[in-house]
Amino acid sequence: MNILDDLKLQYRLGGIAMQVIYWNVACFIISLVFFWPNFVGAFDYPNWLALSSDPQVFLFNPWTFLTYAFFHFDIWHLLFNMMVLNFASNLFLTFFTQKQYLGLYILSALFAGIVFALSFYFSNNYGSIVGASAAIMAILVAATTYSPLMNVRLFLFGNIKLWHITAVILILDLVQLRSGNMGGHISHLAGALFGFAYIKLLQNGTDLSVIVSRTLDFFANLFRKSPRTPFTKVHKNYKKPTQQTSSRIVTKDKTQQQIDEILDKISQSGYDCLTKEEKEFLFKAGK
């Protein structure tokens, strides 16, 4: 088995988390092919892929509220995010389904993108973002909200409570909120908020991920060819008139019948009660 076959097998068997990682890596490879990195190794994405906070841009490119969550600024941005995504995915899928995972990833990316665009617009700032960080934060915070006291074993640190890890990451985002990547940190915190709200709603019986599941099922059924039912010739059954078979009444032979009558007479009254003709008939029949 070559490397390509091995990657295909991992994609099929790895589940939705592995597939999302593959999608992110594939988008990065597309970036290498179509968008050359600049002198510092970073990509300058067009407005129809990156999410811009300018209403005149994102209103005409509404899909960017989702596409930005699959592209990354540079190779280091991709590697770090995929490591954290793999870590958070394993935690989340310990408790929840793959459909809930995909639904949370997509919905949190949309929510974080909207928060980023609105916050920048009302603060008279303009910029653009790419990266899966907001969706990753949603998945990590969702798992932490559901099981904050879970022990996680980290290299060089040993066992640490899950909520400690998540709290450190959130504090780092808050501290760097006024940095040059303010838009990115706003989207991270928005993703974390969505992950927290998702679990709280889920515990109250509302699963927001069904929005994504039903939407994907709708489009899948829309483009799926309905199986053609082969033409079947309908045969109408007519009841054939039943032929009434004449009842065969089995009649005894006349001689045998007369013998039986004589034998009955003998059994009732004895041989002496027979007439001469009956005695002669019985004698002849016995020969």
Q: How far apart are CA 97 and CA 95, in angstroms?
A: 7
pLDDT tens digit sequence for 58-113? 999 999 999 999 999 989 999 999 999 999 999 999 999 999 999 999 999 999 99
Q: How far apart are CA 17 and CA 14, in angstroms?
A: 7
Spans of the chain below 70 pLDDT: 1, 39-40, 225-253, 266-274, 282-283, 285-287
- Whose CA is closest to 20, among 11, 29, 28? 11
Q: List Cβ neighbours of 130 (8 Å cut-off, separation of 6 or more).
A: 43, 45, 49, 50, 51, 68, 71, 72, 73
The per-residue pLDDT for 104 is 97
Structural contact between residues 212 and 103, judged by C-beta atoms closer than 8 angstroms? yes
Q: How far apart are CA 79 and CA 45, in angstroms?
A: 18
The tokens describing 50, both together, are 């990156």
Q: How far apart are CA 109 and CA 66, in angstroms?
A: 6
pTM of the complete model: 0.75
Among the residues of the chain, which ranges form H helices? 3-13, 15-34, 55-58, 64-67, 75-92, 98-122, 133-146, 162-175, 182-203, 210-223, 254-269, 276-286
Q: Give the CB-side neighbour count of residue 219, counting CA atoms within 13 A.
A: 5
- Whose CA is closest to 53, among 44, 67, 39, 64? 64
The tokens describing 121, both together, are 């617009």
The per-residue pLDDT for 224 is 74
Amino acid at 211: I
- Whose CA is closest to 143, among 188, 186, 104? 104
Helix axes 98-122, 75-92, angle to 10 degrees: 130
Q: How many residues does the chain have?
A: 287
The per-residue pLDDT for 39 is 65
- Whose CA is closest to 188, among 243, 121, 223, 136? 136
Which residues in the chain are classed under CATH 1.20.1540.10? 3-215
- Indicate the CATH number of 3-215 among 1.20.1540.10, 2.40.110.10, 1.10.274.10, 3.30.450.20: 1.20.1540.10
Phi-psi region of 128 (alpha: psi -120 to 50; beta: other; left: phi over 0): beta
Q: How far apart are CA 249 and CA 245, in angstroms?
A: 12
The per-residue pLDDT for 259 is 76
Q: How far apart are CA 186 and CA 98, in angstroms?
A: 27
The per-residue pLDDT for 206 is 93
